[in-house]
Amino acid sequence: MANATSGMAVHDDCKLKFLELKAKRTYRFIVFKIEEKQKQVIVEKLGEPTKSYEDFTASLPADECRYAVYDFDFVTEENCQKSRIFFIAWSPDTSRVRSKMIYASSKDRFKRELDGIQVELQATDPTEIGLDVIRSRAS
């Protein structure tokens, strides 16, 4: 069996979509899934810029792991509009252990492929991706 730490290929689509999010702001969020049979990380869902944070949290399954990238816009205390790109490792307690292991060991290599992530977050239940948590990590 291939070693997950070095064996998980990243589909080209993931990198392309991430660059589009970063440079052209064509997406609000991207959800990635590890396809075990093809041993690849692929894009599962894309969110339009009009989507809200609630749409994003709703698109994460409650008992399966995922990786996600979210472009968070906020206003600072000095009234500046800022945005931060979040990488969220979604690993709910209710998912299978095998799934958690694979996602955890492949995370580092995958993150290195996506250049430009500003904040990383690991969430194990819905309370850890609450809007207040994101806002506090943004600044």
Q: Residues in the site for other proteins, rule: CB under 8 A?
A: 93-94, 125-127, 130-131
Query: Of 52 and 94, which has the nearer Cβ to other proteins?
Result: 94
Which secondary-structure segment (H or E) carries 82?
Answer: strand 81-90
To other proteins, the closest distance from the beta carbon of 132 in angstroms equals: 8
Indicate the pairing of strand 29-35 with strand 40-47.
antiparallel
To other proteins, the closest distance from the beta carbon of 125 in angstroms equals: 5
Query: Of 36 and 125, which has the nearer Cβ to other proteins?
Result: 125
Query: Of 4 and 65, which has the nearer Cβ to other proteins?
Result: 65
- In sequence order, the β-bridge partners of residue 42 are 33
To other proteins, the closest distance from the beta carbon of 120 in angstroms equals: 22
